Homo-oligomer: A and B are copies of this chain.
Amino acid sequence: MSQPLINKFVVVGIGLIGGSLATGLKQRGACAEVIGIARKSDTCTEAVNHGVVDRAYTSLCDIAGELGQGDVIFIAVPTLSVSAVLDEIKSCVADSVTITDGASVKGSVQRAAEAVFGVVPPQFVLGHPIAGSEKSGVTAANPNLYENHRVILTPLENTSTQHFDLVTRMWQVVGAEVLSMSVAEHDEVLGATSHLPHVIAYSLVDTLAQDIKNPNIFRYAAGGFRDFTRIASSDPVMWHDIMRANKTAILQSMDLFIDNLSRLRSGIEHEDSSYLLSVFSRAKEARDEFTLMLAKRHAAAKED
């Protein structure tokens, strides 16, 4: 039998993102062993019992001595907890080990790594799988979560090619398409296409629940509303962290959105039909094009 791509795969934070990559690699024979690290020992027990990891510990330093070249540490904790994991890595992990992460914001991870290490070490490949679910926790782990999804890696000047290649191949094994861009572009693009929609969805549901004084308000909402608000069921702590970590880009895209919405409000108030029709038609066209692009990508993936 050929050697697996990765020897020991260590997942720090055994939730949806980390658990899904762990089970995905394991199921495809791409790693020899999966080791889980979780703050709470209950989570460790649960992860082992669910077969998500082979063994689990409450501290990375408990097993860091075992790790070397060919091993991968995947940091899959909420964005603002990455810094504490990097502290641990600095204290006990060899510089031959490949390190990567899955945080939704890359600028804050880069700043955290610079604060801990001075410069981001060559072994640390910053990354972000664009996949998720409104479900969370170790029981939501899904080995096929990353199939046909994109993973963005944001290599820095001194990122080692060897570690970058291993992380790229790791994601490809679980069915993802790997792309590479700058930290700044990543944070701007995600701020607009993911973080902004989440803020909006949370705010809309909160407006209906808190500000509109009609106890029947949700009773008459239908399937369209359910789809529209699905992302408002996402994990509050995770999204709190993202708001803080990508503050600048999120505020910028919120301001553009609030401006656009205010112009639309004024168009409605003044019954400016041509303005309303032009915005709605332009948006429909852009959204239809986007759906077509997703459909083509999916079809191309199936043909491979």
A interface residues with partner B (beta carbon < 8 Å): 130-132, 149-150, 152, 179, 185, 188-190, 192-194, 196-197, 199-212, 214, 216-237, 239-240, 243-244, 247, 250-251, 253-262, 264-265, 268-269, 271, 273, 276-277, 279-284, 286-291, 293-294
Contact = CB atoms under 8 A, between A and B. Distances in A.
A286 B209 contact: yes
A265 B251 contact: yes
10 contacts: A185-B216, A189-B220, A192-B212, A194-B222, A200-B261, A202-B284, A203-B260, A225-B290, A227-B228, A247-B271
Contacts of A284: 202, 232-236
Main secondary structure of the interface of A (DSSP, over half): helix
Given A192-B214, A232-B287, A279 B208 contact: no
Contacts of A203: 257, 260-261, 264, 279, 283
Contact of A226 (B131, B279, B291): B291
A205 B199 CA distance: 15
Contacts of A200: 200, 204, 261
A208 to B, nearest CB: 6
**Top 9 A-B pairs, shortest CB-CB distance:** A236-B280, A209-B286, A193-B221, A205-B283, A202-B283, A207-B260, A232-B287, A211-B256, A206-B283
A204 B150 contact: no
A279 B131 contact: no
A118 B196 CA distance: 48
Contact of A280 (B179, B228, B240): B240
B212 A131 contact: no
A236 B202 contact: no
